[in-house]
Structure 1
Amino acid sequence: MKDAFGAPQTLLLLGGTSEIGLATARRLIARRTRRVYLAGRPSPALEQAAQDLRALGAETMTVAFDALEPDTHEEVLGKVFADGDIDTVLLAFGVLGDQARDEQDPAAAARVAQTNYTGGVSAALVCGTALQHQGHGSLVVLSSVAGERARRSNFIYGSSKAGLDAFAQGLGDALHGCGVHVMVVRPGFVRTRMTEGRREAPMATTADAVAEAVEAGLRRRTEVVWVPAALRPVMAALRLMPRPLFRRLPL
């Protein structure tokens, strides 16, 4: 349960090595989160992330979780919820892929979609149902501005995020009124390992800035968060732009 100050005491991070996810975990730990579950593929990086959070004072456990194995999600995540109530679930896993290569390799393109969308649908449904049974909690889904309108340069990734975004909004509507808060977070270009070496987009941001926005959104029970906030009108304009004009943009 949240403490007397309304801060979450437990966090389940799906995507336990995500830079945005870990930045959020550190921020929440500084605000009284005391138990963290890091769910991801077993690796030295996952163990190091857990060790780093323990050094900050949080009881931290790792959970073997694979977005590409949805048939295991109910069992794996069910065990986490069986340990006790989870105040916040942060769905932060995802892959960017390589657009030029993936266009020539349908199997690779499908893996991007399966990870970002199919895996997200499965994990979010399992966690949403568990939160509903608790009668409280927040589910935070990391989407992307790339999902607002598919662009030539990354339409495989963008379409997977568009699907996840629409799904999360629908899930939020379905869970409305049962004590569960669903929040969709739409960052722009974030400077992380995943985007390293790529041309930086305007209004680029950092993992820490996204974490700050997530923490504020949880406190206010916001439903959609843009990072930075200035992207909201920009993406609204791009979404409404006539297609012939949109195609001329260097996107």
Structure 2
Amino acid sequence: MPAHKDAFSAPRSLLILGGTSGIALATARRLVARGARTVWLAGRPSPELDRAAGHLRGLGADACTVAFDALDPESHENALGKVFAEGDIDLVLLAFGVLGDQATDERDPVAAARVAQTNYTGAVSAGLVCARALQEQGHGSLVLLSSVAGERARRTDFIYGSSKAGLDTFAQGLGDALYGTGVHVMVVRPASLGGPGAAARDRGPLTTTPEQVATAIELGLRRRSEVVWVPGALRLVMSALRHLPRALFRRLPL
């Protein structure tokens, strides 16, 4: 059991769903620097995914890619099962997702449904497959990237926000279901990422970077945290917004 305990705080093997995500790659780089040696990057086959694996190999990791499509849940069992068949996985990071475009998606229900299917139903399928595999091996952490947008629906991003709210609730319930099994489930709620695109989506004063989220994930793993806010001050900010009367909330430029 000591080795399993160490695997929580210093994972040696990683499976990242959403292998080209900026947050995922920042986390992988940080954990490789701390001793992780096996990294699986799961995503749709692309030159970008191959470059990400090559970059991690350059840092000393044994990095491989695996074809994975969040919108094809029927393939998840087989695709992810191949990874676990190669050996134990200490950390699964579920980092895939799409922002969509609220203004466009409101006029295109099919596009809106695709956001929901990627961020929620795809994550439910992949999350359950990985959770069962971690439970069967008797240890490991499952980290799911939620979002501050899921805390309370805002008129500017309620399609994306509602999909993340569903994922957040699923992840918390899954953590409770797996409590005592040796599997640690952690929900990460980052603020909007800094940059021009993010600024257009979230005008709030609190933003973050992939590197800051990666640092918070590593700290959360060491502490066996169940919920991690990035930055930490968001916990208080969102608590206030969540309990704000609806009449007042509607008047905010959110």
TM-score normalized by structure 1?
0.97
Aligned twin of 1:117 = 120
**Does 2:77 correspond to 1:74?**
yes
Report Cα offsets for 1:185-240 as digits up to 9, x if no partner.
00011126963765653111100000000000011110000000000011011111
Aligned twin of 2:181 = 178
AA aligned to 2:94 is L
| The one of 162, 167, 178 aligned to 1:164 | 167
CA distance in 1, matches of 2:4, 2:199: 36
Maintained 8 Å contact 1:73/1:123: yes
| The one of 29, 32, 47 aligned to 1:26 | 29
AA aligned to 2:210 is A
The count of corresponding residues between Structure 1 and Structure 2 is 251
AA aligned to 1:42 is P
Structure 1 spans left out of the alignment, 5+ residues: none
Structure 2 spans left out of the alignment, 5+ residues: none
Does the C-alpha gap of structure 1 residues 204 and 100 become closer, same or farther in structure 2, counting only changes over 3 Å? same
CA distance in 2, matches of 1:180, 1:222: 12
How far did residue 2 of structure 1 move? 5.3
For 1:131-170, what aligned pairs fall within 5 Å after superposition?
A: 131-170=134-173
| The one of 212, 220, 223 aligned to 2:223 | 220
AA aligned to 2:230 is V
CA RMSD of aligned residues (A): 1.6
Equivalent position SS for 2:168: helix
Maintained 8 Å contact 1:192/1:207: no
Does the C-alpha gap of structure 1 residues 56 and 62 become closer, same or farther in structure 2, counting only changes over 3 Å? same
| The one of 7, 14, 19 aligned to 1:16 | 19
Maintained 8 Å contact 1:144/1:188: yes
**Does 2:211 correspond to 1:205?**
no
Equivalent position SS for 2:189: strand
TM-score normalized by structure 2?
0.95
Percent same amino acid at aligned positions?
71
How far did residue 4 of structure 1 move? 5.7
Moved over 4 A (4+): 1-6, 196-200
